[in-house]
Homo-oligomer: A and B are copies of this chain.
Amino acid sequence: MKKIKPTESELEILQVLWQKGSATVREVHEVLSLHKESGYTTTLKLMQIMFEKGLVIRNDKSKTHIYQANVSKENTQQQLVGKMIHNLFGGSATALVIQALGSNKPNKDEIDAIQHLLNDLKKAE
């Protein structure tokens, strides 16, 4: 399995690609622009670099290239979360969970979803 560590900016772009499936530079840039001040060519350059790194693939049959993520969301999340659990929470996923829930409160539906997952884990013991 590939061992790549995307930078913060690259993760923002990957998120758009994961969500949309595929997108042009402009489409990605427009999403990023909602939260961020930066030029079009900056996004373009980043995506070109990501292409060189193998983080994304692209279809350049037409003039306007169409990009797709080349790393899975789940895989990337798992890798980075695992690292954080180990590095910052002494290996305890629970400590991370409690920290996350404490500072960023879920709504009722989300609480239900987590509780449901916990019940499944309990049964599986």
Contacts and interface: CB of A to CB of B under 8 A. Distances in A.
Determine how many copies of this chain the complex contains. 2
A3 to B, nearest CB: 15
Interface string A108-122: 101101110110011
Consensus secondary structure, chain A interface: helix
A80 B89 CA distance: 11
A110 B94 contact: yes
18 contacts: A8-B87, A11-B87, A15-B87, A77-B88, A77-B99, A80-B88, A81-B84, A85-B104, A93-B104, A93-B105, A94-B106, A94-B113, A97-B114, A98-B114, A105-B121, A105-B124, A106-B121, A115-B115
